[in-house]
Structure 1
């Protein structure tokens, strides 16, 4: 166990709940640290249900292409915690991370604080000390009471809002949109991705109260595809660009949000094209080409996706539908807090079978039997296996050249990436 791993394990024990939405503890520790959140480079703050990470990755790629130094804070990590904190382009190093976490642990003095809150404080501390041109902050959960919502950004972004995390954010779309819209700040422009009318009304009402100018999809900017190209238009003019390197039709929407943000930040056409061309975001219809999982089915076509809610299921189904025809099998592990049937229902028409697995090391995992039962309820023939690699091996035994999609959870995706090197 590394030095940072040992500290992270201690930090996990500082609060009885993994999630406890409040800003009181965050303000307390930031005050003890000298309020580093007030000394960040210009911030782009990104909330939403789906597409936050991909949108951030494209914004970062564009800004870096024009020579900027960019901090980025994202969650959860896939293989290593260090992925969450990117300092001026580079992942935080082990020694630096250990020192930051130790400083935050000391400042906290053993008082109750969630893991996300104290590690967010560590990120702000790092960002305040390393020069950069922008800091990109991805909201962890919701927005209004999220630990990142202690900054006044240069620009806010809200990606599409849908139903997820109801136990924390509310049961209806307007309630959830209200939590996401909590990142809006007085006078700060906000890029708004495509929204259901019920969500957009809530966002618009809060923006009006705050005097926060909105740049909304369908009103102030538009994005579509024409003849295999991405076409984006806003008041500045029209962009005709190569499609995003990140796969899937839903990435066109994310690209539009990123382009709208970049244009607001003064990006030129070359910067916008680089945003789509150079973005890297693992576990989003990522093709696996090496490692033990691939070795278990060498003739198969294996993909990995961390999507886990109904909107993600729809997006993944559209991506599968656009791929060349090939027998497709799912390997799926999910958390008990998710709408499993809602995620699987759109996928049922694109897959021959589902092999359910538990998520290793996750207390909240559904059992393989529970996930398989949910698949059966949406008419998707289901089996169970102990591990994802076993599931891939089972599928390859009777369909060697199958397309296999491992999906259902970012935590499962992270374990696959760890195991696969």
Structure 2
């Protein structure tokens, strides 16, 4: 983490240099499925992996950020990379880098690709870290498939402040004549993706045109040009997971997998900190009779989605414990939640230099109409809330960094 003064510095020059120094592993990966988008990348990848593994395939997966341990970012043929393998591959990349400037994400992406070439697998799932065009993962010349999940406004300081600009960055993962599965998109974003696909001759498999999904009698119905599937609802909670599931199923169908693999994608998926009910651990004990939930969403679209999830749950007094980064659209995230929650207790994210101070989060919450207070820690916030509301629902939210701390503290 001391290799580069900036956390994020989008360019591919440093990545290409280090890839060449370690033998160009990007050219020797098992068939790659490359994912970009603003929302749902992780959930979509997790469902896709569950489906592929349900069909008996060995799958590498690269994701970010991690929640509790860095090892979560690199999955080798189904298993998280172990300490020895991670240390070895990072040491090799560090030596090959020879002291040159490179970012944390860049060198760890190269390390993941190197590890992927040395363990046999049938597929490699690569999730972009930020954007797409200049993301460190965007170095595979001919992936098997690309995927673009829903696009919304986020990371405007790096990607632009309009949907069209952000979509242009995400569409940078498209490769000539490589098919792309496209999730539900605003018209402004879809137009950019379609224009890029036309220029590169990429067949699109787009929601609303080539595939559709809906819920019917508690079942997930998927339809594309080859027919209709009647599947279980996704194991991940929330109506927004329907569109992520649809993207994963569209990808599996394009790759030629059958209904059993699609059912496994829905049934067997697990993805922490995405509207996750915490059922065990010291924080759950501290909550007593209160329900304790955890979600890492952090942009306005995530706030809208989360508000809908809360509205769909059985009615119960709901109190938020929220910590956010100072780079986010705080009001945009909290405004939809103000209609679904009874109060917010603000915390600072522990050991995070870019945390928004708790008092600032509380002020933002009050500005959008939420009753707000502050607490020194999440545990103290739980105690404060349950003192007066012992049978409520508590949702810890606002940041994946906060979610990671919670998963560590509650383990």
Whether TM exceeds 0.5 here: the answer is: yes
Asked whether 1:335 is paired with 2:364, we answer no
Q: Give the deviation of 1:384 after TM superposition.
A: 0.3
**Aligned equivalent of 1:366, options 356, 363, 376:** 356
Asked whether 1:283 is paired with 2:268, we answer no
Q: Give the deviation of 1:227 after TM superposition.
A: 1.5
Query: 2:300, 2:215 → 1: CA distance?
Result: 24
Query: 2:208, 2:364 → 1: CA distance?
Result: 36
Q: Give the deviation of 1:290 after TM superposition.
A: 1.2
Aligned to 1:9: none
Query: 1:388, 1:44 → 2: CA distance?
Result: 38
Q: Secondary structure at the residue paired with 2:50?
A: helix
Q: Secondary structure at the residue paired with 1:76?
A: coil
Aligned to 1:118: 107
Asked whether 1:64 is paired with 2:61, we answer no
Deviations 1:15-41 (A, max 9, x none): 110100000000000000000010000
Q: Give the deviation of 1:361 after TM superposition.
A: 1.0
Uncovered stretches (5+) of structure 2, i.e. residues with no partner: none
Superposition RMSD on alpha carbons, in Å? Answer: 0.5
Aligned to 2:202: 212
Q: Secondary structure at the residue paired with 1:77?
A: coil
Deviations 1:255-282 (A, max 9, x none): 0000000001111001101100000000
Q: Give the deviation of 1:296 after TM superposition.
A: 1.3
Divergent runs of 4+, >4 A = none
Deviations 1:85-105 (A, max 9, x none): 000000000000000000000
Aligned to 2:217: 227
Aligned to 1:159: 149
Q: Secondary structure at the residue paired with 2:75?
A: strand
Within 5 Å, which residues of 2 pair with 1:360-399? 360-399=350-389
Aligned to 1:8: none
Aligned to 1:349: 339
Q: How many correspondences in the alignment?
A: 410
TM-score using structure 1 length: 0.97
Aligned to 2:191: 201
Q: Secondary structure at the residue paired with 1:72?
A: strand
Query: 1:340, 1:240 → 2: CA distance?
Result: 39
Asked whether 1:13 is paired with 2:24, we answer no
Query: 1:391, 1:239 → 2: CA distance?
Result: 45
Q: Give the deviation of 1:228 after TM superposition.
A: 1.3
Query: 2:286, 2:380 → 1: CA distance?
Result: 8
Q: Give the deviation of 1:172 after TM superposition.
A: 0.5
Query: 2:365, 2:209 → 1: CA distance?
Result: 39
Query: 2:285, 2:122 → 1: CA distance?
Result: 43
Deviations 1:47-75 (A, max 9, x none): 00000000000000000011100000000
Query: 2:287, 2:95 → 1: CA distance?
Result: 48
Aligned to 1:75: 64
Within 5 Å, which residues of 2 pair with 1:295-306? 295-306=285-296
Query: 1:314, 1:236 → 2: CA distance?
Result: 33
Asked whether 1:47 is paired with 2:42, we answer no
Q: Secondary structure at the residue paired with 1:350?
A: coil
Query: 1:49, 1:174 → 2: CA distance?
Result: 13
Q: Give the deviation of 1:330 after TM superposition.
A: 0.1
Aligned to 1:143: 132
Query: 2:297, 2:403 → 1: CA distance?
Result: 9
Aligned to 1:31: 20
TM-score using structure 2 length: 0.99
Deviations 1:117-148 (A, max 9, x none): 00000000000110000000110000000000
Q: Give the deviation of 1:298 after TM superposition.
A: 1.4
Uncovered stretches (5+) of structure 1, i.e. residues with no partner: 1-11
Q: Secondary structure at the residue paired with 1:349?
A: coil
Deviations 1:276-311 (A, max 9, x none): 000000000100011121111111100000000011
Q: Secondary structure at the residue paired with 1:361?
A: coil
Query: 2:268, 2:125 → 1: CA distance?
Result: 17
